[in-house]
C-alpha cells in the first residue's frame, strides 16, 4: 500500500512510496522530522481563478515542482471537440502535465456536477494511493462546491421542460425568466445573475418538477465533507479592466487559431442542438447563433466577448465569498514560489 513518509533533510523534503522512491523538493522550511502515517487525512490543492487568469500555466509549473497530478475542474473541457474555445491544453502541455477529466464526453452527452464529483473523487483516490497530491485546477464554481460540500438529491433533468424554458427565453429573454424565478425563489434569484441561462433554467426546472424552490433543496442537502485537507489558492486580477482586455484579446486569438472552423464542425454534425450543455459554453453558444443565422459575425463576436466578461465577473463574485483562500496576483511571475511557501508553512 502506498503511503506518505515525509522526511526533512538538508532543507529539502523527500516523499517516498512503497512502490517507488522519488525525491521532490517542496520548499525550504517545511516539516521538522515529522512522519506522516498512512491513515492521516491526505492533502489536496485547489487552484481557482476567473477565466484568462493563467491557471493552466501555473498548474503546469507546479507539477514540475511538486508531486502533483492535475484534475481539471472545467465544465466545458470535459467535451471532446471543444478545444480552442475552452483554451484546452494542447499536446505539448499535456505531455508535460497530463490533465484528468478532459475529453471524457461527446458534446451530445450531458455531464452534471454529480458526475464530476464521482469522477473527481475516483481520480483523487488513485492519485493519493500513488503517494501524490491531487491538484484540482479550474474555474467552475459549481464543481468545486459539489466536490467540497456534496450535493442534494435534486430532481433529474427534464428535456421537455428545458426546451420549453429555452423557447420562452428565445422570445422574452433570460432576464424575464430570472424575474419569474425571483417570484418563486427570491433566494436563488439573488444568487443567480440575470444573464446566467444555465442556472436560471435549472432553478425554474426544479421548481416546476417538484413545486419546491431550489433554495429549499439546497438547505436540506446532506453534508458530505471531502476527506482531504484542502489548500485553496486563487489567481486574482489586480485590475479587472486588464482582465477584461485579456479576455477580449484571447477570444480574438482563438478566432485566429480556428475557433470558427471548430464550431462549424460541431454545427455540421447535424445531431447537436443549441440547448445542449456543451453548446452553452461561452463562445460556442454565440458562434452557434451565427451559423444558425440568428446574427452576423460581428454581433456574434461582440456577444461572445460580453458573455466572457460577465462569466468572469460571476466567477470573481463566487471567489470573493470563499473562506480560507491564499490570494495570488494573476499577473505575477513568482506564484509557484508563493504556493510552495504557503504549503511549507502549512506543513503539507
pLDDT in tens, the chain (348 residues): 333 333 232 223 333 333 333 334 444 344 333 334 435 899 999 999 999 999 999 999 999 999 999 999 999 999 999 999 999 999 999 999 999 999 999 999 988 888 999 999 999 999 999 999 999 999 999 999 999 988 777 788 888 899 889 889 988 999 999 999 999 999 999 988 887 888 899 999 999 988 989 888 877 766 667 999 999 999 999 999 999 999 999 999 999 999 999 999 999 999 998 888 899 999 999 999 999 999 999 999 999 999 999 999 999 999 999 999 999 999 899 999 999 999 998 767
CA distance 146 to 156: 16
CA distance 262 to 290: 13
Tell whether 68 and 132 lie within a shared domain: yes
Cβ(55)–Cβ(137) under 8 Å? Answer: yes
Q: Which residues partner with 21 through β-bridges?
A: 16
Overall domain count for the chain: 2
pTM to 2 decimal places: 0.77
CA distance 177 to 34: 56
Residue pointed to by grid coordinates 431550489: 214
CA distance 337 to 15: 19
Tell whether 71 and 136 lie within a shared domain: yes
In this prediction, residue 151 carries a pLDDT of 78
In this prediction, residue 16 carries a pLDDT of 33
**Strand pairing report for 99-100 and 325-329:** unpaired
CA distance 34 to 44: 19
Q: Which domain holds residue 324?
A: 43-144+235-239+315-345
Tell whether 124 and 57 lie within a shared domain: yes
- Backbone angles phi and psi of 285, in degrees to 5: -60, -45
Give the 3-state secondary structure of residue 80. Answer: coil
Tell whether 170 and 77 lie within a shared domain: no
- The residue length of the chain stands at 348
In a domain, residue 32? The reply is no
Amino acid at each position: 500500500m502506498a503511503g506518505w513518509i515525509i522526511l526533512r533533510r538538508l532543507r529539502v523534503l523527500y516523499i517516498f512510496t512503497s512502490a517507488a522512491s522519488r525525491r521532490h523538493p517542496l520548499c525550504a522550511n517545511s516539516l521538522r522530522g515529522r512522519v506522516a502515517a498512512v491513515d492521516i487525512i491526505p492533502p489536496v490543492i485547489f487552484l481557482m481563478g476567473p477565466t484568462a487568469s493563467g491557471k493552466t500555466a501555473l498548474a503546469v509549473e507546479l507539477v514540475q515542482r511538486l508531486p502533483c497530478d492535475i484534475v481539471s475542474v472545467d465544465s466545458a473541457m470535459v467535451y471532446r471537440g471543444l478545444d480552442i474555445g475552452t483554451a484546452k491544453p494542447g499536446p505539448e502541455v499535456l505531455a508535460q502535465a497530463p490533465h484528468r477529466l478532459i475529453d471524457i464526453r461527446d458534446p451530445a452527452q450531458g455531464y452534471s456536477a454529480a458526475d464530476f464529483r464521482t469522477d473527481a473523487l475516483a481520480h483523487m483516490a488513485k492519485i493519493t494511493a500513488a503517494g501524490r497530491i491531487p491538484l484540482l485546477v479550474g474555474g467552475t464554481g459549481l464543481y468545486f462546491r459539489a466536490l467540497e460540500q456534496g450535493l442534494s438529491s435534486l430532481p433529474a433533468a427534464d428535456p421537455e421542460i428545458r426546451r420549453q424554458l429555452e423557447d420562452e427565453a428565445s422570445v422574452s429573454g433570460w432576464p424575464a425568466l430570472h424575474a419569474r424565478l425571483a417570484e418563486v425563489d427570491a433566494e436563488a434569484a439573488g444568487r443567480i445573475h440575470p444573464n446566467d441561462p444555465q442556472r436560471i433554467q435549472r432553478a425554474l426546472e426544479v421548481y416546476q418538477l417538484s413545486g419546491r424552490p431550489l433554495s429549499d433543496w439546497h438547505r436540506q442537502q446532506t453534508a458530505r465533507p471531502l476527506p482531504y485537507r484542502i489548500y485553496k489558492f486563487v489567481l486574482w486580477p489586480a485590475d479587472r479592466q486588464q482582465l477584461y482586455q485579456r479576455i477580449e484579446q484571447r477570444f480574438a486569438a482563438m478566432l485566429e487559431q480556428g475557433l470558427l472552423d471548430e464550431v462549424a464542425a460541431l454545427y455540421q454534425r447535424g445531431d447537436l442542438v443549441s440547448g445542449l450543455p456543451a453548446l452553452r459554453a461561452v463562445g460556442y453558444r454565440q458562434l452557434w447563433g451565427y451559423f444558425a443565422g440568428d446574427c452576423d459575425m460581428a454581433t456574434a463576436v461582440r456577444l461572445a466577448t460580453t458573455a466572457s466578461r460577465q462569466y468572469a465577473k460571476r466567477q470573481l463574485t463566487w471567489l470573493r465569498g470563499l473562506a480560507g483562500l491564499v490570494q495570488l496576483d494573476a499577473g505575477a511571475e513568482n506564484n509557484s514560489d508563493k504556493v510552495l511557501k504557503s504549503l511549507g508553512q502549512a506543513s503539507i
